[in-house]
Amino acid sequence: MAQSVPDFYNNEAVFAKYMSHRQRVDTANDTLEKPVIMDLILPVTGKRVLDLGCGDAAIGPELLQYGAASYLGVEGSHKMAATAKQTLAEMPEKIILHNIEDWTYPHAAFDLVIARLSLHYIANLAPIFTNVFQALTPTGKFVFSVEHPVITSSDKGWISETNRQDWLVDDYFTTGLRVTNWLGGTVQKYHRTVEDYFRLLQAAGFMIEGLREACPKRENFQDVKTYERRSRIPLFLILAASKPL
Ligand SMILES: C[S@@+](CC[C@H](N)C(=O)[O-])C[C@H]1O[C@@H](n2cnc3c(N)ncnc32)[C@H](O)[C@@H]1O
C-alpha cells in the first residue's frame, strides 16, 4: 500500500536514502533540473519567493544570496521541514509545515513561485494553479519542474534500485495515478501529458513563457558516461508562466 507522499519522505530509511542520493556526484537534480530552474528564475533581486514542496530548502539561502527579498518554503513532510528549518537556521519561521493543497495562499504576496519536483505528486493541480495565480503579483512568475511525462507514463521494465537501462513509454494518454517503488519505499505520483500541464496553466489564467526539457550540457557533468546516459531520454519537464499583461 502506497503512503501519502509527505509520509513517504517521513519514512526514516527513505529519507536517509533520499538525502544521500542528493549528495552524489552528477545527480540529475544538479546537472539537469537546477541549471534550467536558475536560468528561468534569475535575476531574483528584490523578489519575494515562495517555494512549494521545498524539501530541505537548499535553494533558499542561495536565492537570498542572489538578492531575493525573502524566501518562504511550504513543505508537507515533517522530516523535510525540520531539515529545511536547519538550512534556514537564521529564520526558521520561513518554513511552513503544510500540504501544498490546503495551505492558505496569501493574495498578491509573491513575485516568484517555484515548485521543484513536487507537483507530480499531487492529484488535482487545477486549484493549486489558481491559488498560485492569485498569490502572485501582476508581474509575478511561476516556474516549476516535474518528472517528465515520458518517465511518469510507465515504469515497465525497470527493476527498482537498479540503473534503468531502457525506457518504455507506454500508457501515455492514460493519465492519473502511478504507484512506483523508489528508495526502498512505495510512492504514488500522477502522470499527466505535456499538453495537460500546458492546458492546466492556461485554464488558471497563465501565459506560458517557457517549456524546457533539461537537455544535458556536457560542462555540467564530471562523468562523461553519466552525460551520455542522460542524453538518452528527458527526465524533467520545466515550465515557466506569467500573468498576461
Ligand atoms: C523530490 S522532493 C524535491 C524537494 C525540493 N523541491 C528540491 O527540489 O530539492 C519533493 C518534495 O515535495 C514534497 N511534497 C510532495 N507532495 C507534497 C504536498 N502535497 N504538500 C507539501 N509537500 C509535498 C515532499 O515532501 C518532498 O519534500
In testing the pocket of ligand 1, which one of 72, 118, 120, 147 has its CB within 8 Å of the most ligand atoms? 118
Distance 74 CA to ligand 1 centre (A): 9
In CATH, what number is assigned to the domain containing residue 179? 3.40.50.150
DSSP result, 150-203? HHHT--TT--TTS--------STTS-EEEEEEETTEEEEEEE--HHHHHHHHHH
pLDDT digits (tens, 9 = 90+) for 118-127: 999 999 999 9
pLDDT digits (tens, 9 = 90+) for 132-180: 999 999 999 999 999 999 999 999 878 777 888 889 999 999 999 999 9
Place of cell 502522470: 191
pLDDT of residue 141: 98
Q: Which atom of ligand 1 is nearest to the CA of 29?
A: 8
Pair type for strands 176-182 and 185-191 = antiparallel
Q: Provide the pLDDT confidence category of residue 93 given band limits of 50, 70 and 90.
A: confident
pLDDT of residue 138: 98
Q: Is 176 exposed, middle or buried (0-12, 13-18, 19+ CB in 10 A)?
A: exposed
What's the structural domain count of the chain?
Answer: 1
Is 235 strand, coil or helix?
coil
pLDDT of residue 2: 56
pLDDT of residue 190: 98
Considering the chain, what percentage of its residues have pLDDT values greater than 70? 99
Distance 156 CA to ligand 1 centre (A): 24
Q: What is the domain extent for residue 206?
A: 5-242
The average pLDDT across 39-65 equals 97
Q: Taking CB atoms and a 6 Å cutoff, what residues make up the pocket around ligand 1?
A: 5-6, 9, 53-55, 75-77, 80, 99-101, 116-118, 121-122
Predicted confidence (pLDDT) at residue 212 exceeds the cutoff of 70: yes
Distance 3 CA to ligand 1 centre (A): 14
Rounded mean pLDDT of the chain? Answer: 95
